[in-house]
Amino acid sequence: MIIFGGGVGVWLLCKVGDAMRPGTNHLVAFVALLSLFDFVSDILFIHFDLGTSEEVSDCYVVAVLFMVISMLGNAAVLTHFLYQQLRDNEELHCWMSANSSITAFIIFLAFTNVEAFALVSCGILPQLNAQLSAAQESQVQMMGLVTNLLEDLPQVIILIIANYRRQQWSDTAALSFVATALAICYSITKRLLSSLLFFSTPVFTGEETSERGALPTLRDAVGRLWNGEDGLPADACTAQDVVPKPKLDVKTSLEVC
């Protein structure tokens, strides 16, 4: 309850900040700081708890391995994303060239969690004004699953196993657990909301509407997002926009002719 209450409080503060400064997204900055806090607390736990105790020496090796794998996974998906965007998005290329120092720092943060890359467009500082489309932001959020699967979930399991063996929770272990739990809870909540919004609005393409009004598959939408395209086709429209075509009166048409 304390974690949930703290999360709601931070969310409200971010919304107040956005209202006071239109065009900003303070929640992105909070997520980046949370990711950095989670990463640092994990390092402290691994070094001071697992690295100094013979009882959990095997957990130390596994924890370091998963942390390295997670960072390599983040680096791989971020490199793939940047390669696509810098090749096709001239505005982002120019922005990164003009702000190379701050870009390098953000990319370093993104190695701990790819979602931190969204800082480039959060607007809380004058320099953070890169233009990311909704499709690009969704793609960055999807890539954040790498950290959840390769670092956060294994870290929770290692925390539970290590502290069960030692029969005690140190301050660094508790700190790491709280930070990881916060990151996982936020990530799950955000993705559930994104899924709800995705599935609650049926979308039809022009061709599909004229034929039978079939929905595009989730695989197609995800594929378009992964390739840096819009999640929906260019001729997409919502179900509310679909207007049935009036039937042609053949007799009237012949008279006109």
What are the residue boundaries of the structural domains of the chain, listed by start? 2-200, 202-257
With 0-12 / 13-18 / 19 or more C-beta atoms within 10 angstroms meaning exposed / middle / buried, residue 11 is middle
- 169 vs 227, more confident: 169
Read off the pLDDT of each residue in 209-231 and give the average, rounded to a whole number.
51
CA distances to 162, 175, 228, 255 from 52, rounded to whole Å, are: 12, 17, 45, 94
Q: Dihedral sign, CA of 8, 14, 17, 21?
A: negative
CA distances to 27, 51, 58, 186 from 171, rounded to whole Å, are: 27, 15, 21, 23
Read off the pLDDT of each residue in 90-105 and give the average, rounded to a whole number.
89
Residue 46: per-residue pLDDT: 92
Residue 131 Rama label (left phi>0; alpha psi -120 to 50; beta): beta
Give φ, ψ of 123 to 5 degrees.
80, 5
Q: What percent of the chain shows pLDDT beyond 70?
A: 72
Contact 225, 138 (CB under 8 A): yes
- pLDDT tens readout for residues 16-48: 888 888 888 888 888 888 888 999 999 999 999
Distance, in Å, from the CA atom of 200 to the CA atom of 198, rounded to the nearest integer, reads: 6
The first and second tokens of residue 37, run together, are: 């806090």
Residue 7: per-residue pLDDT: 64
Evaluate if pTM is beyond 0.85: no
Read off the pLDDT of each residue in 182-187 and give the average, rounded to a whole number.
82
Residue 3: pLDDT band by 50, 70, 90 thresholds? low
Q: Residue 193 CB: number of other CB atoms within 10 A? A: 10
CA distances to 2, 141, 149, 195 from 188, rounded to whole Å, are: 18, 11, 12, 10
- pLDDT tens readout for residues 117-137: 989 988 888 888 888 887 888
Distance, in Å, from the CA atom of 94 to the CA atom of 44, rounded to the nearest integer, reads: 38
Q: What percent of the chain shows pLDDT beyond 90?
A: 20
Residue 24: per-residue pLDDT: 83
* Spatial CB neighbours of 206, under 8 Å, sequence gap ≥ 6: 235, 237
User: In residues, how long is the chain?
Assistant: 257
Q: Which of 101, 142, 137, 145 is nearest to 119 (CA)?
A: 137
